[in-house]
A and B are shown apart, each in its own frame.
Chain A
Amino acid sequence: MLNSVDTDRIQYFAIAGSILLMIFIVELIRRKKIKEQYSLLWLFFSVVFIILAFWRNGIEVISDFIGISYAPAAFLLILVMAIFLVLIQYSILISKLSEDIKVLVQEIALLKEKVENQKNKDK
Chain B
Amino acid sequence: MFFFFIMHNVKKRSFELTNTLIIVPGYNEAKSIGDVINNILEQKQNYDILVINDCSNDETSQIARRIAKCKVIDLPINLGVGGAVQTGFKYAYNNGYSYAVQFDGDGQHNASEIGKILTPVQNNEADVVIGSRFLTKETSYRSTFARRKGIYIFRILNLLFIKQIITDNTSGFRAYNKKAIKFLTYNYPQDYPEPESVVILGRNDFVIKEISVKMNERKNGRSSINGLKIPYYMFKVLLSVIMTSLRKRNNYVK
Report which A residues bind B (CB closer than 8 A): 101-102, 105-106, 108-110, 112-113, 117
> Would you list 27 pairs from A and B whose C-beta atoms are within 8 A, ordered by A residue?
A102-B79, A102-B83, A102-B190, A105-B75, A105-B76, A105-B77, A105-B79, A105-B83, A106-B75, A106-B83, A106-B86, A106-B87, A106-B90, A108-B76, A109-B52, A109-B75, A109-B76, A110-B73, A110-B87, A110-B91, A110-B94, A112-B73, A112-B74, A113-B71, A113-B72, A113-B73, A113-B91
Known: A102-B79, A102-B83. A109 touches B73 (CB 8 A): yes
Of the candidates A102, A109, A117, the one whose C-beta lies within 8 Å of that of B74 is A109
Residues in chain A near residue B83, CB distance under 8 A: 102, 105-106
Fill in one digit per residue for B119-135: 1 if any A CB lies within 8 Å of its CB, else 0.
00000000000000000
Residues in chain B near residue A109, CB distance under 8 A: 52, 73-76, 87
- The residue among A101, A105, A117 with the most chain B CB atoms within 10 A of its own CB is A105
Residues 88-105 of B at the A interface (beta carbon under 8 Å)? 90-91, 94
Alpha-carbon separation in the docked complex, A101 to B77 (Å): 9
- The residue among A102, A106, A108 with the most chain B CB atoms within 10 A of its own CB is A106
Alpha-carbon separation in the docked complex, A87 to B117 (Å): 46
Residues in chain B near residue A112, CB distance under 8 A: 73-74
Residues in chain B near residue A113, CB distance under 8 A: 71-73, 91
Alpha-carbon separation in the docked complex, A105 to B79 (Å): 8
Alpha-carbon separation in the docked complex, A102 to B83 (Å): 7
**B74's closest neighbor in chain A, by CB?**
A109
Closest CB pairs A-B (n = 6): A106-B87, A113-B73, A109-B73, A105-B77, A109-B75, A102-B83
Residues in chain A near residue B87, CB distance under 8 A: 106, 109-110
Interface residues on B, range: 10 to 19
Looking at the assembled complex, report how far the CB atom of A18 sits from the nearest CB atom of chain B, in whole angstroms. 39
Residues in chain B near residue A106, CB distance under 8 A: 75, 79, 83, 86-87, 90
**B185's closest neighbor in chain A, by CB?**
A106
Residues in chain A near residue B73, CB distance under 8 A: 109-110, 112-113
Looking at the assembled complex, report how far the CB atom of A92 sits from the nearest CB atom of chain B, in whole angstroms. 15
Looking at the assembled complex, report how far the CB atom of B87 sits from the nearest CB atom of chain A, in whole angstroms. 5
**B72's closest neighbor in chain A, by CB?**
A113
Alpha-carbon separation in the docked complex, A101 to B76 (Å): 11
Residues in chain A near residue B79, CB distance under 8 A: 102, 105-106
**A114's closest neighbor in chain B, by CB?**
B94
**B86's closest neighbor in chain A, by CB?**
A106
Residues in chain B near residue A110, CB distance under 8 A: 73, 87, 90-91, 94
**A99's closest neighbor in chain B, by CB?**
B190
